Amino acid sequence: MQTVIRSKTQEVIISPEHPTVIIGERINPTGKKLLAQALADKDMGRVRRLATSQVEEGATVLDVNVGAASVDEVELLPMAVRAVMEVTDVPLCLDSANAQALRAALEVYEGKALINSVNGEEASLERVLPLAQEYGAAVIGLCMDDDGIPSTVEGRVAVARKIVERAAAYGVRPEDIVIDCLALSVCADATAGRVTLDTIAAVRDTLGVNMTLGASNVSFGLPDREAINDVFLAMAMQNGVNAPIVNPAPARKGILITDLLRGLDEFGMRYVGYVRAQQKK
Q: Which is nearer to ligand THG, 225 or 271 (CB)?
A: 225
Q: Are strands 210-212 and 177-180 parallel, antiparallel or unpaired?
A: parallel
CB of 46 to ligand THG, least distance (A): 11
> If binding means CB under 6 A, how many residues of this protein chain bind ligand THG?
17
Q: What's the CA gap between 215 and 196, in Å, rounded? A: 10
CB of 138 to ligand THG, least distance (A): 12
From candidates 2, 9, 30, 278, binder to ligand THG by CB under 6 A: 30
From candidates 54, 88, 219, 247, binder to ligand THG by CB under 6 A: 247
CB of 267 to ligand THG, least distance (A): 33
Buried b (16+ CB within 10 A) or exposed e, 143-174: bbbeeebbeebebbbebbbbbbebbeeeebeb
Three-state helix/strand/coil letters over 186-241: CCCCCCHHHHHHHHHHHHHHHCCCEEECEHHHHHCCCCCHHHHHHHHHHHHHHHCE
Q: Which residues on neighbouring strands pair with residue 180, listed in sequence order?
A: 142, 212
Q: Does 242 bind ligand THG (CB under 6 A)?
A: no
Q: Which is nearer to ligand THG, 73 or 265 (CB)?
A: 73
Q: What share of the chain is helix, strand, coil (3-state, %, to 5)?
A: 50, 15, 35
- The footprint of ligand THG on residues 83-112 (CB under 6 A) is 95
Q: Does 28 bind ligand THG (CB under 6 A)?
A: yes
Q: Which is nearer to ligand THG, 45 or 273 (CB)?
A: 45
Q: Are strands 92-95 and 114-119 parallel, antiparallel or unpaired?
A: parallel
Q: Does 145 bind ligand THG (CB under 6 A)?
A: no
From candidates 20, 117, 196, 229, binder to ligand THG by CB under 6 A: 117
Query: CA torsion 238→17→266→26, rounded to 10°?
Result: -70
Q: Which is nearer to ligand THG, 104 or 218 (CB)?
A: 218
- The footprint of ligand THG on residues 148-207 (CB under 6 A) is 180
Which residues lie near ligand THG (CB under 6 A)?
25-26, 28, 30-32, 65, 95, 116-117, 140, 180, 212, 214, 216, 245, 247
